[in-house]
Amino acid sequence: QNITQTSAISFSATPVTTAIPSATVPLDTPVVGQGDYPPEQYLCDQGKNTTYCAGVLLQDVQLAGLFPDSKPTNGTLNDTIAAFNALGSNVTVGQIETFVESNFKGEGLDLEQIPIEGFVQNPAILDNISDPIYKAWTSIVNSYWTLLIRETNESSICNGNCDSSLIPLNHTVVVPGGRYHEIYYWDSRWIIEGLLKSELYDYAWNLLQNMMDFIDAYGYIPNGGRKYYLNRSQPPMFIQMLDAYVKVTGNTTILERALPLASTEMEWWATNRTFNYTSPFTNKTVLVAHYAVNNSAPRPEGYVEDYETVTGTTPALNATGKAELYSELASGAESGWDYSSRWCKQPVLNVSDNNPALRTLNIKAIIPVDLLSLLAGDHALLADMYDLHANSTNSTSSSNSTGILPPTANSTANSTSNGGSSANATYHRQQAQAFSDAVLDLCWDPVKSWFYDFNTTSNSRSNVYTPAGAWPLWQNITPSELVNNETAALNFVSGARFLLGRYSGIPSVASLLYTGLNWDFPNSWPPHLHTTIKAFETLGRLYPNASTLSNLTIPYSQVASGQLGINETALQPQPASTIGNVSLQVQEAQGKPWPLALSIEYANRYLGAAFCSWYSTGGAIEGLLTQLPLSELNATGTYTAGQSGVMFEKFNATDTDAAGGGGEYTVQVGFGWTNGVVLWAAGEYGQYLPAPTCPMIPIIEMSNNGTSSSYSNGTTVNGTGSIVNATSGNSTSSILFAGYRIPRDDWKRAVEEQ
Ligand SMILES: OC[C@H]1O[C@H](O[C@H]2O[C@H](CO)[C@@H](O)[C@H](O)[C@H]2O)[C@H](O)[C@@H](O)[C@@H]1O
């Protein structure tokens, strides 16, 4: 892979491999499943038959098991189908391997890295970061955009003549990284947050233009930029992104194109994903939404996994049952939470096999609290932006030739002479109110003091505690109980305070159930760190004079009754072996009003996890931080030669420097939303965050009475963690630390040690 470096800071590329088809069974083995193909999926690429949509070719290739990961390869010629048909029936794995080798290009080649124009080496957020290591590291993360910004490589898709899975886009994209070589919808929400902090406004603009092109072409924004994603969306974040862009840049000219398209997207959700529901609590009919994908075949990008989930049931499912489960699986992917016990009828705790839990998927019957909150927030922001646009187009005095205005947040101006935007604003405010009412009616539990999903099968609230319950406050939906009652507000955050003390990693863990699914314990995802802090910030605005707490963390017994939905004894342990020397709270949060103190603590955990996992996978900072010696890097199990620190897509709530795991693919590195949230958290809370402490867990023999040990490269680490240069004898920094790692494969093993 060619890496274009536009920054003086040295870093190495996220390793990207192009998988070579490689059979795992004898080549003359017949491909399984022949003769039993799913129905044609009309929605895939708008009814056009492609090699990437459900059909004989896709199934035979995927079930031949040539790749360790089911993501389809990219790029092929139009006569591929003819070549495939020439194979005839009863094909073998060997025939498919040869066919793939000669007809498909490697994945990830259709988008190429490009030099960033206008890269800002030292964006203003760096001035806000007090710790020198965090400052230097944030600057490195800032430069990682050079690895993730891509544009369509026309030649790799034969200038549009290849039958490629890529949806070609007119503007640069930012990919998440790893196996994700294409744009992703909801990831882009946090990527844009980071681009704005990095002052890469043009790339944020490009991203928004791509989103608008999607709406123009399809009426909605697909899950990602591949044709096989054209039957579903992801959490509707476009309006949130647009709002963030306009507020930071003050550029309202984008609204001219964006507002009608944002309305179109909202209409798509209204037409395809909303329904009315009678509340069992108030008997009122409320407007609700769900994830619900019309699909009766395996997800092309998870073909083997879905096929095995659906065909491995006992007793076997009939055609209707199969179609229904395929639809549930696709709907889970639309939620972005693919997959979670949140969506299951039975939260099966089987960490080594996802299938039993997935066979109980019931997501279409669930009204997700985060989706409902997001739709409420989207409509509210859209109404404000209609007003803002009306004001800016009517005002000549405040407008300049480029249309750049000062940021105008939460405009409520009432305009009547703007070609109908006032009516639009009124409509969207009504919609916002309707969704907000539904959140408060169905999802808010005043006794448990938290928001939960609503399950239409049981006609009751779910009792699975998740960080999705923080989204209503993020979107400014506040129950009356939380207003003017600080005790009630503290009750709301009681679970968050407990988890802060209970686990050493990022406390906004996806759920408290350890199921082996991607969006369950112990995985903590960057979006939830951001949205949980945003909820704390809302409380900070509600309680500007909030008290300071002598103990921010609390025992389980002080958590609002039933809030966590799980007994203390059933909670997963915090393995002592993964804490090391990490202190669970930071000095800088003390004496602050509790909403701010919580935000600082959560931001600290996040930066600690992202930084320490980067460091333990080879990260180094010239002049400040020496790379760990090879013996220790190798012990982490996530180091490859030449690597200089990776950014994981998700983290482990019980371990400061470990990635999350589980799910249907191995943990990915890159990583768009991780970097975005680092830049956001460092920019917003960097002035409070102390020097990172990574776990000092010795794996090599200690010397000097156990206070120091020698690295093979001649560096020594003293008892305080300062790294000392062997030749000069000088400590390179007085605030450094050492990250000794325990040899372990993953979190599971650490828990087993308990
Ligand atoms: O291939 C499996 C699934 O991969 C994606 O989901 C995961 O990664 C996405 C990109 O970072 C992220 O948006 C999503 O929340 C993750 O669960 C993809 O979005 C799924 O559709 C796909 O089935």
- Model pLDDT for residues 52-70, shown as the tens digit of each residue: 777 888 898 889 888 766 6
State in Å: Cα 336 to ligand 1 middle. 6
Is residue 186 within 6 Å of ligand 1 at its C-beta? yes
Pocket test for ligand 1, best of 70, 148, 179, 180 (most atoms within 8 A of CB): 180
Mean pLDDT, residues 74-90 taken together: 76
Comparing 222-226, 541-545, 709-713, 740-744, the range with the smallest average pLDDT is 709-713
User: pLDDT grade, residue 77 (50/70/90)?
Assistant: low
Candidate ranges 33-37, 250-254, 609-613, 715-719; pick with highest mean pLDDT: 250-254
At residue 540, φ and ψ (nearest 5 deg) are -60, -35
- Report d(CA 265, CA 375) in Å as an integer: 11
Is pLDDT of 604 > 70? yes
What integer pLDDT is reported at residue 48 of this predicted model?
Answer: 62
338 CB near ligand 1 (under 6 Å): yes
Q: How confident is the model at residue 193 (pLDDT cuts 50, 70, 90)?
A: very high
pLDDT class of 43 with cuts at 50, 70, 90: low
Backbone angles phi and psi of 265, in degrees to 5: -60, -45
Q: CA 656 → CA 523, 526, 589, 754, distances in Å?
A: 12, 14, 19, 17
Contact 89, 175 (CB under 8 A): no
Report the 10 Å Cβ neighbour count for 516. Answer: 22
pLDDT bucket at 510, cuts 50 / 70 / 90: very high
- Ligand 1, atom 15, lies closest to the CA of 336
| Structure letter (DSSP) for residue 415 | -
Ligand 1 centroid vs 231 CA: distance in angstroms? Answer: 14
> Which residue has better confidence, 741 or 459?
459
The alpha carbon of 662 and the centre of ligand 1 are apart by a number of angstroms equal to 13
* Residue 671 CA to ligand 1 centre (angstroms): 13
- Weakest-pLDDT range from 325-329, 418-422, 580-584, 613-617: 418-422
Helix (H) or strand (E) holding 402: none
For residue 235 and ligand 1, the question of a CB distance below 6 A is answered with no
Q: Hunting for tokens 């863990």 — which residue is that?
A: 509
If you take atom 17 of ligand 1, which residue's CA is the nearest one? 338
Ligand 1 in contact with 302 (CB < 6 A)? yes
Verify whether ligand 1 is closer than 6 Å to residue 520 (CB atom): no
> From ligand 1's centre to the CA of 268, what distance in Å?
21
| Ligand 1 site, residue 97, Cβ cutoff 6 A | no
Q: Which pLDDT score is estimated for 10?
A: 33
Kindly state if the Cβ of 501 falls inside 6 Å of ligand 1: no
Q: Quickly state the pLDDT bin for 163 (edges 50, 70, 90).
A: confident
Tell me the average pLDDT across 597-616: 95
Spacing, Cα 328 to ligand 1 middle (Å): 15
Ligand 1 binding pocket includes 306 (Cβ within 6 Å): no
pLDDT 10s digits, 280-324: 999 999 999 999 999 999 999 999 999 999 999 999 999 999 999
Q: Which residue has the tokens 């994209």?
A: 173
Residue with tokens 């087993």: 752
pLDDT (tens digit per residue) in 690-713: 888 787 654 333 333 433 333 333
532-578 pLDDT per residue, tens: 999 999 999 999 999 999 999 999 999 999 999 999 999 999 887 77
Is-contact 672 175, C-beta < 8 A? yes
CA atoms within 13 A on the CB side of 183: 32
User: In this structure, what are the phi and psi dihedrals at residue 652, rounded to the nearest 5 degrees?
Assistant: -110, 120
Q: Using a 6 Å cutoff on CB, does residue 181 contact ligand 1?
A: no
Q: Mean pLDDT across the chain, nearest whole number?
A: 84
Higher pLDDT, 731 or 629: 629
Residues of the chain above pLDDT 90, percent: 62
- Higher per-residue confidence, 34 vs 749: 34
- pLDDT-derived band at 609 (thresholds 50, 70, 90) equals very high
Instruction: Sort 714 into a burial class: Cβ within 10 Å, 0-12 / 13-18 / 19+.
Output: exposed
- Check whether 160 has a pLDDT greater than 50: yes
Q: How confident is the model at residue 420 (pLDDT cuts 50, 70, 90)?
A: very low
Any ligand 1 atom below 6 A from CB of 518? yes
Q: Helix, strand, or coil here: 112?
A: strand
Nearest CA to ligand 1 atom 16: 336
What is the torsion angle, in degrees rounded to the nearest 10, for the CA atoms of residue 291, residue 297, residue 299 and residue 302? 130
How far away, in angstroms, is 728 Cα from ligand 1 center?
A: 49
How many whole angstroms separate alpha carbon 662 and alpha carbon 525? 13
pLDDT band at 131 (very low <50, low <70, confident <90, very high): very high
| Complex ipTM value | 0.96
If you average pLDDT over residues 236-249, what whole number do you get? 98
Cα–ligand 1 centroid distance for 228 (angstroms): 13
The DSSP-derived string for 536-596 is HHHHHHH-TTPPB-S-SS--GGGSPTTTTSS-GGGSPP--GGGTTT--SS-GGGTTSBHHH
Statement: residue 32 has pLDDT above 60: yes
Q: How far is the CA of 367 from the centre of ligand 1 (A)?
A: 20
Q: Mean pLDDT across the stretch 27-47?
A: 80
The finding on whether 336 has its CB within 6 A of some atom of ligand 1 is: yes
The pTM of the full predicted model, rounded to 2 decimals, is 0.88
From the CA of 312, how far away is ligand 1's center (Å)? Answer: 23
> What distance in Å separates the CA atoms of residue 747 and residue 745, rounded to the nearest whole number?
7
The answer, yes or no, to whether any atom of ligand 1 lies below 6 A from the CB of 176, is yes
pLDDT score, position 157: 78
For ligand 1, say whether the CB of 236 is within 6 Å of any of its atoms: no
Q: How far is the CA of 227 from the centre of ligand 1 (A)?
A: 15
Whole-number Å distance, alpha carbon 380 to ligand 1 midpoint, is 28
Q: Answer yes or no: are the C-beta atoms of 325 and 496 closer than 8 Å.
A: no
